[in-house]
A and B are shown apart, each in its own frame.
Chain A
Amino acid sequence: DIVMTQSPDSLAVSLGERATINCKSSQTVLFSSNDKSYLAWYQQRPGQPPKLLIYWASTRESGVPDRFSGSGSGTDFTLTISSLQAEDVAVYYCQQYYSTPYTFGQGTKLEIK
């Protein structure tokens, strides 16, 4: 299984400031034939299902605000929220869909400082 490890486990950021969450996979999730990293990011607010934010490591899902961006390739990835808003308080998960079993990171809890 590919193990996904996120850092930090929790993060407190002031409103309007930048938030950065990291995700590392135990093996590459980059498919060389199409040069795509099979990595997604989700936001889960309390009491709600996860919501897809980013796929192919850096493609923003339709309707997701452009303050959310994803970067990275291979084994190291980052989710950045450029200017934190109150509604961004949530747990964020990365997930690989390169190979089964699909696996998630342990989650990063983002709070307002």
Chain B
Amino acid sequence: QVQLQESGPGLVKPSETLSLTCTVSGGSISSYYWSWIRQPPGKGLEWIGYIYNSGSTNYNPSLKSRVTISVDTSKNQFSLRLSSVTAADTAVYYCARNWNFDLWGRGTLVTVSS
């Protein structure tokens, strides 16, 4: 069955750029919307943005100036870049499929600290 797996550094320094990749296995990345969602420790869920396989994107206005989501269909992967991070960006980052997030990765904790 289709599975999602997030990967990337677990520690990022303040003011630097957070970069994560989500690999889609067991199925094609085509014809779906793919999102990034984050959850600060002990807190709720925040949608970051999505990309469609055509490359069209939609970002949360609260993060829009710092976020880029891209897709590599040849690798069945999509990626998140979040620039100028601060401690407030410390969170578990999830990738997920569709508008009603029917499939989630296990999540990866990213800590912003010097």
Contact = CB atoms under 8 A, between A and B. Distances in A.
Interface of A: 1, 38, 40, 42, 48-52, 55-56, 61, 93, 95, 97, 100-107
Of B60, B94, B100, B105, the most chain A CB neighbours within 10 A belong to B100
B64 to A, nearest CB: 9
Identify whether the interface residues of B are mostly helix, strand, loop, or mixed.
loop
Given A49-B106, A101-B60, A55 B100 contact: yes
Interface stretch (B8-16, B18-26, B41-49, B71-79): B41-49
B44 A49 contact: no
A102 B102 contact: no
A100 B58 contact: yes
Range of interface residues on B (Cβ < 8 Å): 10 to 19
Contact of B104 (A38, A49, A61): A49
B47 A40 contact: no
Nearest to A39: B100
Interface string B89-114: 00000100001111111110000000
Contacts of A104: 44-47
A35 B99 CA distance: 17
B44 A95 contact: no
A50 B61 contact: no
Contacts of B107: 49
A3 to B, nearest CB: 12
B62 interface: yes
Nearest to A101: B60
Contact of A50 (B35, B45, B58, B60): B45
Contacts of A51: 104
A47 B61 CA distance: 28
Nearest to A50: B104
